[in-house]
Amino acid sequence: MHRRRPRIGRDFQWGAGVTKNLIGYGTYLPRYRLSGSDIGLRRGNRVVASFDEDSTTMAVAAAAVAIKGHRDPEHVYFATSSPAYADKTNATAIHAALRLPSASFAVDLGGTGRGAVAAWRMASLTGGLAVAADVRIGRPGSADEKLGGDGAAALLFGDGLCLAEVMGSTSLTEEFLDRWRSPTASTGQQWEERFGAQRYGELIDTAVTRTLDKAGLPNVDHVVLVCPNSAIVKRAATLVKGERSTVTSPVGHSGAADALIGLTATLDTAGAGETILVVSAVDGCDMLLLRTTEALLSARQPEPVIAQRGAGLGVAYLTYLSWRGLVEVEPPRRPEPDRPAAPPSSRAVGWKFGLTGSRCESCGFVHFPPMIVCTECGSIDPMADVPAAGLGGTIATYTVDRLAYSPSPPVVQAVIDVDGGGRCTLEIADTEPDRLTVGARVEFTFRRLFTAGGVADYFWKARLTERVQEEQL
């Protein structure tokens, strides 16, 4: 059978006056780790999202880092292959958790790693946030379980100082079957790996040649190569070699988030004026050639990917399987919670999604959740918003509840005094009960408390600020 040579069309146009600058970025890697010995890895471990995390919550965490210190983005493009909802926009929850103004556009881009490239393209045209997140689930014993990883990354585009300029791009598309998943399945499948590897190899070759030729460069400093085909990932360094580094995603294949996690990890370390070739080979090949600027050096994210990748908490394999619904464990003898109701959730959107309390203008007393009548002085004048998501807090007292219903018992809750005033009682995420003390410092993290009736109960939890590498995994 005759195979057509690829015809290459017009490339996406990047550049001054057309596209916005990359002005911020952020990565979020969940804290839990599956021990390599549980899943057949000779060394190391796998990054796994906690039971209370999904693509939406991880996207919030990455996006919050990317937009810190910047004007609110007016566009949010969210790419994931593991959406929390199929027939409801997930980006709206991200939008609400980031407390963005309602006069903005938030949209999901589904599918694969290509969705993240689409988000990147869109955000660079309109300004705003490109954020990608995925929870990768593999059947027990599968390569996806072993070689995948969960996480999120975000890029912010706007008119500020540019962290990395786009020098060129290439996109190739080809229809072939390498990896697939039915919309109703949680785990995917792959054709014989060698077939996809052959196809991807050709596509990458073509795209690299074309991209470098157009840019007039003989080589690049850094290569970030991601691909759902693990044979390609294994051969990354021989396919395209960076002068300074050639990396794949530091968490393994992370679906829609793969390319952005890889890129943000490189932005953590690349020097000024260095070139980065981003290769995302998914059902074709998307390639972006970037050159970093001086501005990057003072705009790196506070907790680099490598540090996030290193710190971790072990999770027992059986517990992990129950998180993903791959085994069903005996629940506590307690009723399951009711689904959150739509009207009260809508009325309380500032609290539920934005962790925003209220401060009495008369006496200064802070209320979590917001109140109409001041508990301290009785004033009924309108109160000021107190957004707490970015604040810290201190544990006043805490408990471990072994009786309560939870998707992953036990429930750990703490009474938290919020910096600047106010108190609330929240669950503790990523718990290490032994490290809880009265006086311990916490930060806030957007999570999914439970799911009932198909409705995700999104709300904020607290987690210990000081993370130690307590588990040698």
**Rule CB under 8 A: which residues touch another protein?**
332-335, 337-341, 343-345, 347-348, 351-352, 365-369, 371, 375-376, 396-406, 411, 413, 415, 417, 421-427, 438, 449-450, 457, 459
- Is residue 35 within 8 A of residue 317, CB to CB? The reply is yes
If the CB atoms of residues 136 and 352 are measured against another protein, the closer one turns out to be 352
If the CB atoms of residues 9 and 453 are measured against another protein, the closer one turns out to be 453
* Minimum gap (Å) between residue 80 Cβ and another protein: 22
Would you give the end-to-end CA distance of the chain in angstroms? 50
User: Edge-to-edge strand order for the sheet containing 275-280?
Assistant: 164-173, 284-292, 275-280, 220-226, 242-247
* Minimum gap (Å) between residue 345 Cβ and another protein: 4
If the CB atoms of residues 231 and 404 are measured against another protein, the closer one turns out to be 404
CB atoms within 10 A of CB 243: 13
If the CB atoms of residues 321 and 455 are measured against another protein, the closer one turns out to be 455
- Is residue 221 within 8 A of residue 276, CB to CB? The reply is yes
Q: Partners of 225 in the beta sheet?
A: 279
Closest C-alpha to 69, from 304, 325, 305, 390:
390
Consecutive H or E run containing 279: strand 275-280
* Minimum gap (Å) between residue 137 Cβ and another protein: 25
If the CB atoms of residues 320 and 351 are measured against another protein, the closer one turns out to be 351
Check whether the bond before 410 is cis (ω within 30° of 0).
yes
* Minimum gap (Å) between residue 352 Cβ and another protein: 5
Closest C-alpha to 47, from 306, 231, 263:
306
* Minimum gap (Å) between residue 31 Cβ and another protein: 21
Q: How far apart, in whole angstroms, are the C-alpha atoms of residue 63 and residue 72?
A: 11
If the CB atoms of residues 202 and 443 are measured against another protein, the closer one turns out to be 443
* Minimum gap (Å) between residue 108 Cβ and another protein: 22
